[in-house]
């Protein structure tokens, strides 16, 4: 008798728990959004080659130093351009992710 009474007291608790579970959404259609990256952002960053060893050795000492400094500055500018391209690609990627999330 005691277990029978306990069963009827606990039965509404179990039924309430089952009734509040969220129903699963069934996705019938998916949409794939592809963002094309402009070709200008996909070009390789290839720096110009330095002068040959023979040309370098023909320079005077101060000209060698000047050449090295200017070439280093040039290489840094190439790296900067590549980083700008990568940042733009990241921005495009972030925008496409935000658009796809807002549509869902």
Q: What is the pLDDT of residues 22-73, one digit of tens each?
A: 678 887 887 777 778 888 888 899 999 999 999 999 999 999 999 999 999 9
Instruction: Flag whether 12 is in a domain.
Output: no
Q: How many domains does the chain have?
A: 1
Express the helix, strand and coil content of the chain in percent, nearest 5 each. 65, 0, 35
Question: In this model, does residue 14 exceed pLDDT 90?
Answer: no
Domain that holds residue 62: 30-103
Question: In this model, does residue 104 exceed pLDDT 60?
Answer: no
Q: Are the beta carbons of 85 and 45 closer than 8 angstroms?
A: yes
Question: In this model, does residue 99 exceed pLDDT 60?
Answer: yes
Mean pLDDT, rounded, for 15-25: 67
The model's pTM is: 0.59
Token pair listed for 56: 């370098």
Please tell me whether residue 72 adopts helix, strand or coil conformation.
helix
Confidence of residue 101 (pLDDT cuts 50, 70, 90): low
Element (H, E) at 20: none
């Amino acid at each position: 008798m005691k277990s029978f009474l306990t069963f009827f007291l606990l039965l509404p608790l179990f039924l309430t728990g089952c009734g509040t579970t969220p129903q699963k959404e069934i996705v019938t259609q998916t949409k794939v959004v592809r963002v094309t990256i402009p070709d200008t952002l996909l070009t390789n960053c290839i720096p110009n080659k330095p002068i040959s060893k023979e040309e370098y050795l023909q320079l005077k000492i101060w000209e060698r130093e000047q050449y090295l400094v200017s070439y280093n500055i040039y290489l840094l500018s190439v790296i900067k351009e590549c980083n700008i391209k990568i940042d733009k690609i990241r921005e495009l990627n972030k925008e496409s992710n935000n658009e796809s999330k807002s549509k869902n």
